[in-house]
Amino acid sequence: MRFIVSTSVLLKQLQAISGASSSSTVLPILENFLFEIKDNMLTISATDLQTSMVTSLPIEAKEEGRVAMPSKILIDTLRTLPDQPVAFSVDTKTLAIEISAGDGKYKLSGENADDFPKIPVVDNVSTVEIVASILSEAINKTIFAVSNDELRPAMSGVLVQLNEQNITFVSTDAHRLVRYRRKDVGAEKSASIILPKKALTLLKSSLPSDETLVSIEYNNTNAFFKFGNINLICRLVDERYPDYEAVIPQVNPNKLTVDRSLFLNILRRVVIFANKTTHQVRLKINGSELHISAEDLDFANEAHERLSCQFEGEDMEIGFNAKFLVEMLSNLNCEEVMLEMSSPNRAGLLLPAVKADDEEILMLVMPVMLNNYN
């Protein structure tokens, strides 16, 4: 089996799918790429059994065949080579691989392609198409709030609710929750699926930033993403997602409106002086003035800042985890944000002050109980 391909083209494709391969000590075959040649097309696959990525590119080849090649050594070699044609020769009996590039020759040993796990094929599928930039935005807005708690597998992914009018993306880790809704896309059939965090992270890094259409096919067990010459297949999280609508408070008479970037920068400064475990900051609202303070009693550190704001409701004092607030504010791209609250022991809602036409975002954060209320 012999084929010729450009180093830069091959490296680009391998880097696009390398995140799906696994450094598994139990199954060493997962540390390989599967190379398959058919009709002058090279198909390369990588998998960790949960998530798989497949890409294909045209090449010059006289014969067909398949072999598994070690991923790390292959990428490291291609990275150091200049942009030039490179020839691969594979001995189908011994699985010895020889790479010839310019004046250099490199030998490595491959693995039997039959040992490589079969990439799942999705059947009985429903399909929805989303523009890459919209999907990318939805992942960025929600993935940071996904739970890392292994005891709550349902929260280890992003819930995607599809219906005719809109598509809603939800993530939560029980301390905060994000609901991102797009009204400019819809699906023919209503459905709810939970996409795992790793698959979304891989998707985020490989999605083009333009208006490419991404085709999403899904059934009860897997989801298939197709865009350009890349396919990503992931196993869905087979759990029931918590009823998130029930935790979103409906009546919030206290509404605070502030400049997002000013508020964000103040929190970044103030959190330096907060307790390193709780990251607690105190927000005290008096009329049109917001006092933001933090203290770490163990080191006698404290910080106080003031910010002018617009406020409807009764003066109040509430504590939040500043790390959460910083992360949430960083993922909003509006000029002013509104923080809606009902009482110091109920969740606060963070929303853009001006609503967009085709998207709706709501972020919820649980308060931190203050030791004393001044």
The predicted pLDDT at position 298 comes to 86
Query: Using one digit for the tens of pLDDT, what is the confidence trace for 27-47?
Result: 899 999 999 999 999 999 999
Give the 3-state DSSP-derived string for 315-343, with helices as H, strands as E and coil as C.
CEEEEEEHHHHHHHHHCCCCCEEEEEECC
For residue 7, pLDDT over 90 is answered with yes
284 sits in the region (left: phi over 0; alpha: psi -120 to 50; else beta) called beta
pLDDT digits (tens, 9 = 90+) for 177-190: 999 999 999 999 99
Structural domains of the chain sorted by starting position, each given as residue range(s) with its CATH number in brackets: 2-115 (3.10.150.10), 126-245 (3.10.150.10), 248-365 (3.10.150.10)
Directed axis angle between helix 260-270 and helix 322-330, to 10°?
A: 150
The DSSP secondary-structure symbol of 8 reads H
Select from 339, 141, 309 the least CA-distant residue to 249: 339
Is the pLDDT at 297 greater than 90, yes or no?
A: no
- Rounded Cα gap, residues 178 and 374, in angstroms: 31
**C-alpha–C-alpha distance, residues 258 and 235, integer Å:** 41
Percent with pLDDT over 70 in the chain: 99
The per-residue DSSP string of 162-212 comes to E-SS-EEEEEE-SSEEEEEEESS---SS-EEEEEEHHHHHHHHHHS-SSS-
User: Which run of H or E residues covers position 90?
Assistant: strand 85-90
Which CB contacts under 8 angstroms, 24+ apart, belong to 150-154? 153/237, 153/239, 154/194, 154/237, 154/239, 154/240, 154/241, 154/242
Cα 97 from chain centroid? Answer: 36
The per-residue pLDDT for 209 is 84
- Does the pLDDT at position 373 exceed 70? no
pLDDT of residue 60: 85
**At 23, is the pLDDT very low, low, confident or very high (cuts 50, 70, 90)?**
confident
- Give dist(CA 154, CA 343) in Å, integer: 29
Strand partners, 257: 310, 338
Percent of the chain whose pLDDT exceeds 90: 87
- The residue type found at 353 is A
Amino acid 374: pLDDT:
57
What pLDDT sits at residue 288?
A: 92
Answer yes or no: is pLDDT of 158 > 70: yes
Q: Which pair of tokens denotes residue 129?
A: 């198409």
The predicted-structure confidence for 242-256, as pLDDT tens digits, reads as follows 999 999 999 999 999
3-class secondary structure, 109: strand
For residue 96, pLDDT beyond 70: yes
In 3D space, the residue among 267, 258, 261 whose CA is nearest the CA of residue 353 turns out to be 258
Structure tokens, 320: 């939040």
